[in-house]
A and B are shown apart, each in its own frame.
Chain A
């Protein structure tokens, strides 16, 4: 039992005790001012027995209710039931019913109240002839009306509770990581919940469809509780009709070539995407219950639609990432093929060298044909050299390389901050990024998102590798410039740190660092490709290594 249920039980118990005390006080009041059937000393004994039995019957609600009415009956025996004091006493359990729990008890409560009222009448007036029917009607009818109101309220609360149960079911299901792989499993749980509360074996399957973006009359299956090979909606305007009427019943539908005779279709919307849900049912629902069914499921279907919509967006992002990845993969494969090509073309080179090695020892009788072979091989070598250079140029052409970050997009500073924080915190989870001031308006920078991601991953990994104890990152917005500082202490001696700085900021050694320090060269190249000015230095005060990016702010 969770804490809220324990607290609820506690408060209900307090209410229950207060109610019994009220009955006891009221009974003492009635006994003290009325003529009583039993000798006066009987009544304290009744009260004592009543309180003891209450304490013994805490968990037996129905028996406790019977005991309440027996006590009420004993106190009111031979007292005039139409007397306002008596009548209010009879009504006390109904007045207190707001604190009652349990489904059957409220029905019994009204039955017991009416029964007790009639019984007291019968006993007081001794026979039916003396019955005051006008009084019974005046006082009994309101009780009956209250009973009906109560029955209706009970149904309404039950309906609302079940609606909440269904939405909780969806929320809980989608908190489970497995739900991302199998979102369609929610339908099984939904069907089970509906069967337990509305009608057993009522729903056979649930399917979700969306309208096609290109052919508005065509519906596309999103998912469902069972696998579907084929589906055919005979009404070409089914989408329009469903949106107009909100619910369609027993539409002509064929699933896997089978005529679906009984079905309910409901629609829902997430952003601008319509979702159509088909409930294949075993039987038909009466018209009144169809409306209730639609109202009951509306919030659940809205939730499912939102989740399916998010899933479709994620799918789109995954597809785009996959496309980018494929482009890079193709480039790598092309590079691999180029290496094979070069290896094959090196055949004449290898043979030419071997032939030149033996040139001086070739017997004179074959020297002439040998020279001819040598000349042919030289020609082949020259041709292959041209082809190798051509292929190498093609590979090195930046336009053909998807891993070159020259195309820029407009990125908000907030998004850039989030990217930096994500990558920085992946290495240093306990360190916050400092910010000199929060911009009042939305500001942007021109950047290549993949490029900045790669730069951040590379440099922040370097910081983690070389730091001793302290690292920091700060955003500094100053006029039209955004400066991002990365600082870390290090174990490098002065010569080593100066070499790193000179490798990064000077262009004099580019061709050397390209060969020797691959990581630094990549960092430098990415920033140069994006046209982002940067500065690397050793702080005069802290001796920390500082890497500073300067980005131009655009509005």
Chain B
């Protein structure tokens, strides 16, 4: 299984992803980390089973998390269910609604997080963050 992680501070979540991979996926997960929106081939993004997107991303990124979600959905609207937002902002739902990109299919993880939450997100289970 391949997962994409758009995160510029991957070190803060590396342990959670690696523990999730070891404990729940027997190290069969292929984790591709992208620190900016332009570092990934977006036309091949549908190859991933789950796409984790940090909303902030780095200043060097062409798109922030919101714009990246919009870009991905403009390429393929069915990818909604694959997107998991990683954010430290607990008002994220309101902001998504304000920006018109809110969908119940897009899942949200509020940081700080742990490997169990990551595993649930990858398995498509509900996330309690």
Contacts and interface: CB of A to CB of B under 8 A. Distances in A.
Interface of A: 340, 343-355, 358, 362, 366, 369-370, 373, 376-377, 380, 384
B22 A347 contact: no
Given A349-B112, A353-B114, A373 B19 contact: yes
A348 B112 CA distance: 8
A355 B115 contact: yes
Contacts of A369: 22, 27
Contact of B14 (A352, A358, A362, A380): A380
B9 interface: yes
B23 A344 contact: no
Nearest to B17: A351
A366 B26 CA distance: 9
Contacts of A358: 23
Interface string B2-18: 00000001011111101
A2 B11 CA distance: 82
B115 A343 contact: no
Contacts of A344: 9, 12, 88, 111-112
Contacts of B89: 340
A380 B19 contact: no
Contacts of A377: 15, 19
Contacts of B31: none
A348 B12 CA distance: 6
Given A352-B15, A380-B14, A347 B116 contact: no
Chain B interface mostly: helix
A373 B24 CA distance: 14
Given A344-B9, A347-B12, A358-B23, A373 B114 contact: no
A343 B15 contact: no
B121 to A, nearest CB: 14
Contacts of B88: 340, 343-344
Given A351-B114, A355-B114, A370-B19, 16 more contacts: A344-B9, A347-B12, A347-B16, A348-B12, A348-B15, A349-B112, A351-B115, A352-B15, A353-B114, A354-B116, A369-B27, A370-B23, A373-B22, A376-B14, A377-B15, A384-B12
Given A340-B88, A362-B23, A369-B22, A376 B15 contact: yes
A362 to B, nearest CB: 7
A371 to B, nearest CB: 11
A-B pairs with lowest CB-CB distance, top 5: A354-B114, A377-B15, A347-B12, A346-B112, A350-B112
A346 B23 CA distance: 21
Nearest to A370: B22
Contacts of A362: 23
